[in-house]
Structure 1
């Protein structure tokens, strides 16, 4: 009886024990969209006959996978797992019933039961997918808006972790890789925002960020904002992104205004150019003819000045807009300076234009063009407290101011006319710019040339009354030396601007500033020539030197004399430059609206080289008229110079010339 009881209890224990089905001891952590293997196996292989394996969700009872009668039964599984749950068929006969689950979703988290049935034995194990790690970025869309409007770019981050704990969320402009916004360590980093978007972008409130809303608002939309933007989120090895495209932007009212001003600046010279030229050829100073001339000169240039001011407000940068506006506005004064009808103006206005046109343009253009240098010097001074830098700032600010004061005193009063003072002040400004370069980049030979040469020229001008240059022949030496120094100084300035500004924060302005350096030296050359011809008249050794002085004074390109050369240069400035500038600005505006980025980074690269042609033409007219009225004196002075240098005269001198040469040798 006891033996039977023992055998019965042993059978019960065996049946209750069943199959030993094994699984993982810890929950599984998986990645959203990835794959995971749910382990389930027995220690000893089981015969395939009457073997059945079920994988079910513990909570819902959903059939995930069924293996029966030696094969998988996909038709029996829930459709949510169709094509995603499978066995390793070759491993089943070895007792491995692990399930491969692919394309994981957040709904796959939970407990799964693996039940094994073999003949009269049963076993079960459970596998838990505890957490599904995921990072999903959504919100891609297309934005269409007008320039000047505010837009919102959507970006939503869905993750298994709180949004404020993400490693990084950033917005970038794709085509130029410009950093727009960055959310790092739970905070927005404003210092990482590119200057183009400074004070124009902002995320939503902290509450919205905690919901995963990383959309941002872009204010005051510009044409260069067109393009693709990418919102990227990072956490550990996880990363995802979405893109937002800002499509072609419509013109704002200010863009339309710029185009209208450009049309005016182009149409007026085209319509009035021919009648203005005809009136010049006919010496017509009637009220109607003068009205045409005034309209031609003033209307187009004022329109361009206003257009560039608007351009600076909505599209361009400050120094570009300021310089271009000043060039077009001051061209009015320059055109009146060369105009054959200047003698129709009132005396005080004539005097102001004759004495101030060149110098005023130099002072204003230099002040606007190099304002960026002064700002940079001020920032450096605030950091270093270097008193030398402060001194340069004061000099760079005071010299143009003093030059303007001198201009207005000379132009509006009859106190004095001193071309030498204007020229020396301009060379002081050139020297101050050279001093800035030396202090910023250190001393070497090429930089010292830019620094020293303007001062050498000033020395030659200042000592013009010395005995070395007190005769016409020797004035020719001085004129030649000054000309050579001016050419070398101008060439050095242009080269150093182009070479050194590439390493500055002014890289985008390098080409424009290089062109302006050349333009300023053209104006300096005109002032130098006025000084030289004044010197030639003052130091002429001939008895009729007073007549020579009078000739020189009238040898500026103003006055009553009308020549075809004057008319051509005048029409070049009044018609040609206005048309070129208006077309350049209009084309750049349209292309930027279409492409979303600038075709020409600095419009001064186009405007200033063409602008140089106008003062060069004026300078050629000055030289030509000076030579025409002083040819005889210059020829005699050149012969005297040859005698001083020991050269043989090629022709026989007249008795009067021989007498003068003997007197010259005796001195």
Structure 2
């Protein structure tokens, strides 16, 4: 119902970017809820279930990216008359970012391990293209975003080597660079918000896309704490639907009374709440990952302590003198060689002859 409400809202009022983003988020939340369901492990591993487990986040990123930024691109091409070089630069930026999102979606085995890096590179490329459309870009922030993006690309090339022995070090370094990229992007939004009236809405969409990108870096784990898992799932299944319905209803009532909108863009309210839902899921995944690492470390320490205790036991075993004496007597009772037996026989014969 919320999906239909936002579509009708966009058609009647002409807010296409807002209507597309809000309706797509409400519709694609179904895939995220299936992925986050506590009973998902009970469902047989069908091909559709595997796709939802692995690619639900990538599907949502691709749909929101294509739809939202395509609206801005269409308005730019129809309302203005850009020259050929501007069209070429913006088109290459959008095309490259879309290509990265599509490859991240279609990759499963070989390139599937690079899906997070692809999404993390695609988002700032779109931001820079959008900044070129609105003519709101400065050299220093362009350089900051470009440096962090190139750093993620460089780390992705080093990933096969790092996965062999320094897996956690690579993850920490990639996370630091990713946070620096987010800081550079939002610092850019903060400096240019007065030049673009749609900057708050674009900032909300970007924050939501970055939250989904962070979610794509985690595997689907089932060893989550039961009560927090159920709370997050119920918040997404019921709480978000109620909140979206109330927000749309209040906005329609206020507009009918005052004749103008109370909120400039509904994305500013809806997408942060959706991001809170995704952050709750990421927090559970991080908790499960930390518990796995803790259990592995504990098992390793227990094995080391067991081996050390066994070695210490063997070193402390007393050696009795009776055992050494028995071994000495056994050594004296060793069988003689054939030559020694022949010599002993001749000696006995000679002694008998003399007698």
**The one of 622, 625, 647 aligned to 2:285:** 622
**The one of 83, 90, 94 aligned to 1:392:** 90
The question of whether the paired residues in 1 share the 8 Å contact of 2:10 and 2:19 is answered with yes
**The one of 193, 197, 220 aligned to 1:556:** 220
The structure-2 alpha-carbon separation of the partners of 1:588 and 1:334, relative to structure 1 and needing over 3 Å to count, comes to: same
- 1:455 maps onto 2:144 in alignment: no
SS at match of 1:521: helix
* Structure 1 residue 381: Cα displacement: 8.6
- 1:333 maps onto 2:31 in alignment: yes
**The one of 342, 350, 364 aligned to 2:63:** 364
* Structure 1 residue 397: Cα displacement: 4.0
- Which of structures 1 and 2 has the larger relative contact order (alpha carbons within 8 angstroms, sep 6+)? 2
The question of whether the paired residues in 2 share the 8 Å contact of 1:427 and 1:458 is answered with no
SS at match of 2:230: helix
The structure-2 alpha-carbon separation of the partners of 1:315 and 1:568, relative to structure 1 and needing over 3 Å to count, comes to: same
**What does 1:494-643 align with in structure 2 at a 5 Å threshold?**
494-504=186-196, 507=197, 509-527=198-216, 529-530=217-218, 556-557=220-221, 559=222, 563-633=226-296
SS at match of 2:154: helix
**The one of 137, 141, 147 aligned to 1:446:** 141
Q: Deviations over 1:172-230 (max 9, x none)?
A: xxxxxxxxxxxxxxxxxxxxxxxxxxxxxxxxxxxxxxxxxxxxxxxxxxxxxxxxxxx
Q: Which structure's residues are more often helix, by fraction?
A: 2
Q: Whole-Å Cα distance in 1 between the matches of residues 284 and 140 of structure 2?
A: 36
The structure-2 alpha-carbon separation of the partners of 1:306 and 1:403, relative to structure 1 and needing over 3 Å to count, comes to: same
- 1:423 maps onto 2:87 in alignment: no
Q: Whole-Å Cα distance in 2 between the matches of residues 381 and 483 of structure 1?
A: 39
Q: Whole-Å Cα distance in 2 between the matches of residues 338 and 609 of structure 1?
A: 19
The structure-2 alpha-carbon separation of the partners of 1:525 and 1:370, relative to structure 1 and needing over 3 Å to count, comes to: same
Where in structure 1 are there 5+ consecutive unaligned residues?
Answer: 1-302, 411-415, 531-554, 640-652, 658-667
Q: Whole-Å Cα distance in 1 between the matches of residues 177 and 215 of structure 2?
A: 14
Where in structure 2 are there 5+ consecutive unaligned residues?
Answer: 309-355
Q: Whole-Å Cα distance in 2 between the matches of residues 656 and 475 of structure 1?
A: 27
The structure-2 alpha-carbon separation of the partners of 1:418 and 1:409, relative to structure 1 and needing over 3 Å to count, comes to: closer
The structure-2 alpha-carbon separation of the partners of 1:561 and 1:501, relative to structure 1 and needing over 3 Å to count, comes to: closer
Q: Whole-Å Cα distance in 2 between the matches of residues 614 and 402 of structure 1?
A: 25
* Structure 1 residue 574: Cα displacement: 0.6
Q: Deviations over 1:434-470 (max 9, x none)?
A: 432675445522232123312312321331122x563
- 1:435 maps onto 2:125 in alignment: no
SS at match of 2:194: helix
**Cα root mean square deviation, aligned:** 3.0
The question of whether the paired residues in 1 share the 8 Å contact of 2:104 and 2:119 is answered with no
Aligned residues: 303
The structure-2 alpha-carbon separation of the partners of 1:434 and 1:584, relative to structure 1 and needing over 3 Å to count, comes to: closer
SS at match of 1:503: coil
* Structure 1 residue 620: Cα displacement: 0.7
**The one of 44, 47, 51 aligned to 1:348:** 47
* Structure 1 residue 424: Cα displacement: 3.2
* Structure 1 residue 511: Cα displacement: 1.3
The structure-2 alpha-carbon separation of the partners of 1:432 and 1:561, relative to structure 1 and needing over 3 Å to count, comes to: closer
Q: Whole-Å Cα distance in 2 between the matches of residues 631 and 304 of structure 1?
A: 42
**What does 1:162-177 align with in structure 2 at a 5 Å threshold?**
none
* Structure 1 residue 618: Cα displacement: 0.9
**What does 1:402-421 align with in structure 2 at a 5 Å threshold?**
403-404=101-102, 407=105, 410=108, 416=109, 418-421=111-114
**The one of 458, 463, 484 aligned to 2:176:** 484
**Structure whose alpha-carbon radius of gyration is higher:** 1
The structure-2 alpha-carbon separation of the partners of 1:447 and 1:561, relative to structure 1 and needing over 3 Å to count, comes to: closer
Q: Which structure's residues are more often strand, by fraction?
A: 1
* Structure 1 residue 385: Cα displacement: 1.5
* Structure 1 residue 326: Cα displacement: 0.3
Q: Whole-Å Cα distance in 2 between the matches of residues 438 and 594 of structure 1?
A: 36
* Structure 1 residue 394: Cα displacement: 4.0
